[in-house]
Chain A
Amino acid sequence: EADIYQTPRYLVIGTGKKITLECSQTMGHDKMYWYQQDPGMELHLIHYSYGVNSTEKGDLSSESTVSRIRTEHFPLTLESARPSHTSQYLCASSESGSQPQHFGDGTRLSIL
Chain B
Amino acid sequence: EDQVTQSPEALRLQEGESSSLNCSYTVSGLRGLFWYRQDPGKGPEFLFTLYSAGEEKEKERLKATLTKKESFLHITAPKPEDSATYLCAVQAGGGYQKVTFGTGTKLQVIP
Contacts and interface: CB of A to CB of B under 8 A. Distances in A.
B79 interface: no
Contact of B46 (A41, A45, A102, A104): A102
A90 B43 contact: yes
Contacts of B104: 42
**Which of A2, A90, A97, A104 is most buried by chain B, counting CB atoms within 10 A of its CB?**
A97
Interface stretch (B13-21, B60-68, B94-102): B94-102
B71 to A, nearest CB: 14
Interface string A84-112: 00000010100001111111111010000
A98 to B, nearest CB: 6
Interface in A17-53: 40-43, 45
Nearest to A97: B97
Contacts of A101: 34, 46, 99
Nearest to A106: B43
Contacts of A103: 36, 43-46
**Which of A42, A90, A106 is most buried by chain B, counting CB atoms within 10 A of its CB?**
A42
Nearest to B102: A42
Name the interface size band of chain B: 20 to 34
B108 interface: no
A65 to B, nearest CB: 20
Contacts of B103: 40-42
A99 B97 CA distance: 10
Nearest to A101: B99
Contacts of A102: 46
B102 A98 contact: no
B46 A98 contact: no
Contacts of B100: 42
B49 interface: yes
Interface of A: 2, 6, 40-43, 45, 59, 90, 92, 97-106, 108
Given A98-B91, A103-B43, 12 more contacts: A42-B101, A43-B87, A43-B89, A45-B99, A90-B44, A97-B97, A98-B31, A101-B34, A103-B46, A105-B41, A106-B41, A106-B42
